[in-house]
């Protein structure tokens, strides 16, 4: 599906690029070194309306997915950690409630989330399962009009910040007639007794994003905190994950563009054997590869985003085509990002191995793009199944 960014989208890109240059890039290295969550920057993003870009208009949002991808890409060019904070805040925080919440839940939680005054996480992954999310062990038992939750989650983004207001968790709520687990989604507000946010991880990359393991020990929430239909929690998660894949692809695109631009600048300044290294074919061809990857990733991201916007408007090729485009976009762009950081680091030589240069940070940040919100192997599985292959 062809796409053409509108004049409004182009103007918005300029706004986000200016914000990233002034409010993100000068501080990203310090946030990373200190493993510090940038609360002030998140608040400024909220003031810009970034967290509401794909949210329903009746709750203060803009309902435009392409704009969200632009925001993630431009912020991600300066700081991948802040880019994933936006992506998870919208895709895993706002989207489940906006898509499956009842009117009371939307009225209670969405205004602050959309305005960026609060953040929410989504507790799916567990210590003993990752891609096999259907193997959830956390349990939620209905006792006297309350859900009593016991279990553990891990790698949960935006779950322990001073802005975090809730985490939506998947949990077993019973057994289906075919013997498989009945999995539902339950909203657990921050501060619920028995809900413990464990100390954050010491991560290789995304160091200034917020990521924690969570523990639930007889954590009780009212019965009306069930999100969506009983027993549909896993299916609901799968339904929102497609948008997350495209948004991660946008983050990967920001990484690729940053690597290309930094490497081109360095190759024009660094001299070897009396001439800038960019004049050497060995370097110039690598820069050409970076540009080709950036161009291809751009096409994959924004053609998929255009599909999503068309679906929201009641047109377009439909969800099946969008799911395929989302999986392909995530698979290819995240792979390109990992390769782009390796190439850029090689061009920088020994300097690329020094933390004083942003290339080192992008190199560390890139790998998780192939893991989070569906590994590359899962994307290949989805694409293969779309070809009609009965693959496990």
| 224 and 297 inside one domain | no
Number of H helices, E strands in the chain: 12, 10
Structural contact between residues 172 and 181, judged by C-beta atoms closer than 8 angstroms: yes
In a domain, 188, yes or no: yes
In a domain, 35, yes or no: yes
Residue 38 DSSP code: -
In this predicted structure, what is the pLDDT of residue 2? 55
| 222 and 274 inside one domain | no
| 372 and 258 inside one domain | yes
In this predicted structure, what is the pLDDT of residue 18? 98
CATH number of residue 187's parent domain? 2.40.110.10
Please tell me the pTM assigned to this model: 0.96
| 43 and 75 inside one domain | yes
In this predicted structure, what is the pLDDT of residue 263? 98
Q: Compute and round to an integer the Cα radius of gyration of the chain.
A: 21
Structural contact between residues 360 and 354, judged by C-beta atoms closer than 8 angstroms: yes
Residue spans of beta strands (DSSP E) within 200-280: 211-222, 226-227, 271-272, 275-276
| 97 and 149 inside one domain | no
Boundary of a domain, candidates 231, 252, 287: 231
Comparing CA positions, the residue from 276, 237, 248 lying closest to residue 124 is 237
In a domain, 28, yes or no: yes
Residue 135 DSSP code: G
| 140 and 278 inside one domain | no
| 200 and 277 inside one domain | no
| 379 and 272 inside one domain | yes
Phi, psi torsion values for 299, nearest 5 degrees: -60, -45
In this predicted structure, what is the pLDDT of residue 64? 94
Boundary of a domain, candidates 119, 141, 170: 119
Give the domain extent around 327. Answer: 234-386
| 189 and 293 inside one domain | no
In a domain, 392, yes or no: no
Number of domains the chain contains: 3
Catalytic residue among 73, 74, 126, 373: 373
- Tell me the Ramachandran region of residue 76: left when phi exceeds 0, alpha when psi lies from -120 to 50, beta otherwise: alpha
Structural contact between residues 172 and 140, judged by C-beta atoms closer than 8 angstroms: yes
Comparing CA positions, the residue from 333, 161, 327 lying closest to residue 242 is 327
| 179 and 82 inside one domain | no
Boundary of a domain, candidates 174, 208, 231: 231
| 220 and 268 inside one domain | no
In a domain, 391, yes or no: no
- Tell me the Ramachandran region of residue 349: left when phi exceeds 0, alpha when psi lies from -120 to 50, beta otherwise: left
Q: Is 141 one of the catalytic residues?
A: no
Per-residue pLDDT 10s for the chain (392 aa) are 557 789 999 999 999 999 999 999 999 999 999 999 999 999 999 999 999 999 999 998 998 999 999 999 999 999 999 999 999 999 999 999 999 999 999 999 999 999 999 999 999 999 988 767 778 999 999 999 999 999 999 999 999 999 999 999 999 999 988 888 899 999 999 999 999 999 999 999 999 999 999 999 999 999 999 999 999 998 898 888 999 999 999 999 999 999 999 999 999 999 999 999 999 999 999 999 999 999 999 999 999 999 999 998 888 789 999 999 999 999 999 999 999 999 999 999 999 999 999 999 999 999 999 999 999 999 999 999 999 999 98
| 240 and 381 inside one domain | yes
CATH number of residue 59's parent domain? 1.10.540.10
Question: What's the token pair of residue 216?
Answer: 């639930």
In a domain, 297, yes or no: yes
CATH number of residue 299's parent domain? 1.20.140.10
């Amino acid at each position: 599906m062809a796409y053409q960014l509108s004049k409004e989208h182009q103007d918005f890109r300029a706004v986000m690029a200016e914000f990233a240059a002034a409010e993100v890039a000068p501080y990203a290295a310090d946030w990373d070194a200190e493993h510090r969550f940038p609360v002030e920057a998140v608040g400024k993003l909220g003031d810009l309306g970034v967290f509401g870009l794909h949210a329903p208009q009746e709750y203060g949002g803009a309902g435009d997915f392409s704009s969200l991808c632009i925001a993630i890409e431009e912020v991600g060019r300066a700081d991948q950690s802040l880019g994933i904070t936006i992506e998870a805040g919208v895709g895993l925080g706002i989207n489940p409630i906006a898509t499956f919440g009842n009117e009371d839940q939307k009225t209670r939680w969405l205004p602050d989330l959309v305005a960026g005054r609060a953040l929410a996480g989504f507790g799916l992954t567990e210590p003993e399962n990752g891609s096999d999310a259907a193997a959830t062990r956390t349990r939620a038992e209905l006792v006297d009009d309350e859900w009593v939750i016991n279990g553990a989650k891990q790698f949960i983004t935006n779950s322990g910040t001073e802005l975090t207001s809730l985490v939506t968790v998947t949990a077993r709520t019973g057994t289906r007639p075919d013997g498989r687990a009945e999995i539902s989604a339950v909203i657990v507000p921050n501060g619920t007794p028995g809900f413990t946010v464990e100390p954050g991880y010491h991560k290789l990359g995304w160091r200034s994003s917020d990521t924690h393991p969570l523990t639930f020990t007889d954590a009780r929430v009212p019965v009306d905190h069930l999100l969506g239909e009983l027993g549909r929690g896993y299916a609901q998660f799968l339904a929102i994950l497609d948008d997350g894949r495209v948004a991660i692809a946008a983050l990967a695109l920001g990484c690729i563009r940053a690597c290309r631009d930094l490497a081109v600048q360095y190759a024009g300044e660094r001299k070897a054997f009396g001439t800038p290294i960019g004049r050497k074919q060995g370097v110039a061809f690598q820069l050409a590869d970076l540009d080709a990857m950036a161009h291809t990733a751009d096409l994959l991201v924004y053609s998929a985003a255009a599909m999503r916007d068309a679906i929201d408007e009641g047109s377009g090729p439909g969800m099946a085509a969008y799911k395929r485009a989302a999986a392909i976009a995530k698979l290819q762009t995240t792979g390109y990002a990992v390769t782009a950081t390796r190439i850029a680091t090689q061009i920088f030589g020994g300097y690329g191995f020094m933390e004083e240069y942003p290339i080192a940070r992008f190199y560390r940040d890139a790998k998780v793009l192939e893991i989070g919100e569906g590994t590359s192997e899962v994307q290949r599985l989805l694409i293969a199944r779309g070809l009609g292959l009965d693959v496990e």
